Amino acid sequence: MKNFLLILWISLNVFGFAQNQNSVEGAYLSKDGDTFQLWLLVDGYSSMTTFNDKEYISSIGGTYQFENNQITVSVEFNDQNNSEVGTKKTYNLSFNNGNFKDENGKVWVKQNKAQSLDGTWKISARMMDGKMTEIHQKGERKTLKLLIGGYFQWFAINPSEKSFSGTGGGTYTFENGKYTENIQFFSRDNSRVGASLSFDGELKNGEWHHSGLSSKGEPIHEIWKRIQ
């Protein structure tokens, strides 16, 4: 009996993360002590952010491809080492019931809270001086927001200049026309962590209309388009 239990334990631990996966899209969370890592993968875009309860630490991301349980990220930003922008990073994963373990043995747990706003969005227009004005970001400069599995993250980057202007993220809900963000990290100001912001939100012809007050208390009205 003891030998049977030992074999069963070994099987669960050695072979538990050995399933093939057709898709990796989702929000995944890993924890080491009081440090969290959040990995968002949606619409072919990846962001991996490290933070704890009090401070933002780092973020890296870009477009990705997934094949044979392997993610290859074409790095578009890395606020700790911008020399990696333009390179590719590969992660080999082992799956079990939707969660995965990376090659370093770290376990990433999938967060399952799908919502109608899930996707990768790019800001396209903003209310300015009482008029909705299109935003034309020059070159590769862009502001994106990833929403997946109950988590969100925005970031402003310019891959051609290897520049990173800032990021913020946490959990979100979108219910009955109300979009609410609960901030868990904010690169520009750690004091914003713990804040909750609520906005009016509406999907119109595939565009996300977003209005309310910013984290600075300033009125905003923005339109975002989903990247396909």
Name which residue leads in pLDDT, 41 or 206: 41
Statement: the pTM of the whole predicted model exceeds 0.75: yes
Q: Which CATH number fits domain 119-226: 2.40.128.490, 3.30.200.20, 1.10.10.10, 3.40.50.300?
A: 2.40.128.490
Least confident of 6-20, 31-45, 210-224: 6-20
Least confident of 111-125, 132-146, 181-195: 132-146
How does the average pLDDT of the chain come out, rounded? 89
pLDDT the model gives residue 131 = 82
Q: How confident is the model at residue 21 (pLDDT cuts 50, 70, 90)?
A: confident
Q: Do the two domains 17-111 and 119-226 of this chain adopt the same fold? A: yes
Q: Which CATH number fits domain 17-111: 2.130.10.10, 2.40.128.50, 3.40.50.170, 3.40.50.300?
A: 2.40.128.50
Highest mean pLDDT among 2-6, 138-142, 194-198: 194-198
Q: How far apart are CA 121 and CA 139, in angstroms?
A: 18
Is the pLDDT confidence value at 116 over 80? yes
CA gyration radius for the chain? 19
Q: How far apart are CA 66 and CA 44, in angstroms?
A: 9
Is the pLDDT confidence value at 126 over 70? yes
Q: How far apart are CA 179 and CA 224, in angstroms?
A: 14
According to DSSP, the residues that pair with 196 across neighbouring strands are 182
Is the pLDDT confidence value at 127 over 70? yes
Mean pLDDT to the nearest integer, 215-221: 84
Task: Determine what percent of the chain is predicted with pLDDT higher than 90.
Answer: 73
Contact between 97 and 108 (Cβ < 8 Å): no
pLDDT the model gives residue 15 = 43
pLDDT tens, 28-57? 999 999 999 999 999 999 999 999 998 999
Q: How confident is the model at residue 19 (pLDDT cuts 50, 70, 90)?
A: low
Contacts 24+ apart (CB under 8 A), 53-57: 53/193, 54/190, 54/193, 55/185, 55/190, 55/193, 56/167, 56/185, 56/186, 56/187, 56/190, 56/193
Domain positions in the chain are: 17-111, 119-226
pLDDT the model gives residue 44 = 96
Residue 34 identity? D
> Kind of pairing, strands 178-186 and 88-96?
unpaired
pLDDT the model gives residue 130 = 79
Name which residue leads in pLDDT, 216 or 76: 76
pLDDT tens, 54-112? 899 999 999 999 999 999 999 999 999 999 999 999 999 999 999 999 999 999 999 99
Cα angle value 117/109/18 (rounded, 5°): 120
Least confident of 39-43, 118-122, 129-133: 129-133
